[in-house]
Amino acid sequence: MTLPVLAAIAGAGGTGHAATVDRASAGTLADGTRIEVVTLTNTRGVSARILTYGATLQSLMAPDRDGRIADVVLGYDDLKSYVDRPNYFGVTVGRYANRIAGGTFTLDGKRYQLPLNDKTNTLHGGPAGFDKAAWRVASLSAGPVARLVLTHRSPDGDSGFPGQLDVTTTYTLDEAGDLGIAFDATTTRPTIVNMTNHAIFDLGGEGSAAGATGHRLTIPAGAITPVDARLIPTGALLPVAGTPFDFRKARTIAEGLRDGRDAQIRFGQGYDHNFALDKGLTATPGLAARLEDPVSGRVLELLTTEPGVQFYTGNFLDGSYLGKSGHLYRMGDGVALEPQKFPDAPNKPAFVSARVDPGRPYHHQMIYRLSTQR
């Protein structure tokens, strides 16, 4: 049985029914740019802390079935660590989430070369992607739905991508426990856009001894886009039936995480794969994944308008990342569920197109829906 977030102590956060917004300084970058932190809080114990650096979800506080509140996303306590030791914790990813093979694509007969930052590929927009940008607070508002609007301008040719891109990332938090994130962009030239949030979750509380591999996961997808040894999709669809990738019914993540008999698990060193959602590309957000922690009772549902979701088990976390409260993060300490267009779509004509044209804006709406169950 799924209950509203913090049903056991509803109202303990106050008698009002309005979510609040708090704005403060988070420090400055080396060039003197001021970075802010904005916290959205509802009356049921859920709060989201967002840095303007990288439009980053720095923390997401949520109650368990008994009302105990914990931070459920991995990350850092301070701005300096996000700058000095980047690892995409909670960031807004762009211009293009996931991998582009060889860092190259062709659009309208012209070939574009992007900087490489993943061996022979471009990952998450390259080494100077949106996760490294200082975003601007455009507006803030409290009320039944608290709202933060962040903006960023990416000039024509930025990291090799064509077109000036004016981008908006909007965070919203309502009383039910829905943290919405909407990405919008307009361009001056034909280009490609694929944006997402890269939060890494441990519903037991970041840094928990158990990590996230004991969580139960459901993904309504009958196929994945299989990859080669470079983690680039082959262009095919691989049915999940009979494989470690079958999450159509809830399964514990640990069951298939180290199944080296499967070539895809070997390539990814665990799960690092795009699932082709049964719902496809939709006008309104539909279910992409459901993550449950049997110990705390916390439940996270991910909804999105996009056709795919990348499931990643933190395979590159090797104990060298000193995270919040001095926690060393390792593989399996958290999992990412990144809704998006398919990886390398600009080079795979059969995939849903990531093209964006002047006068036809980009829009992606996603929701992290928090609840509890007994």
Nearest to 73 by CA among 174, 197, 169: 197
- Whether pTM > 0.85 for this model: the answer is yes
Q: How many residues does the chain have?
A: 374
Residues sharing a CB contact under 8 Å with residue 232, sequence separation 6 or more, in sequence order: 99, 101, 121, 343, 344
- Calculate ∠ Cα 176-177-181, nearest 5°: 120
To the query of whether residue 364 is one of the catalytic residues in this protein, the response is no
Structure tokens at 15: 């008698």
Containing H/E element for 80? helix 79-84
Q: What is the pLDDT of residues 156-185, one digit of tens each?
A: 999 999 999 999 999 999 999 999 999 999
Catalytic residue, candidates 198, 215, 273, 364: 198
To the query of whether residue 198 is one of the catalytic residues in this protein, the response is yes
Q: What is the pLDDT of residues 297-326, one digit of tens each?
A: 999 999 999 999 999 999 999 999 999 999
Residues sharing a CB contact under 8 Å with residue 120, sequence separation 6 or more, in sequence order: 101, 102, 103, 230
Q: What is the pLDDT of residues 213-269, one digit of tens each?
A: 999 999 999 999 999 999 999 999 999 999 999 999 999 999 999 999 999 999 999
Neighbours of 30 (CB within 10 A): 7
Delineate the domains of the chain, giving CATH numbers in brackets.
2-373 (2.70.98.10)
Burial class (CB within 10 angstroms; exposed 0-12, middle 13-18, buried 19+) of 198: buried
Catalytic residue, candidates 152, 273, 338, 364: 338
Q: What is the pLDDT of residues 99-118, one digit of tens each?
A: 999 999 999 999 999 999 99
Q: How far is CA 347 from CA 63, 113, 185, 352, in A?
A: 43, 13, 21, 11
Burial class (CB within 10 angstroms; exposed 0-12, middle 13-18, buried 19+) of 327: middle
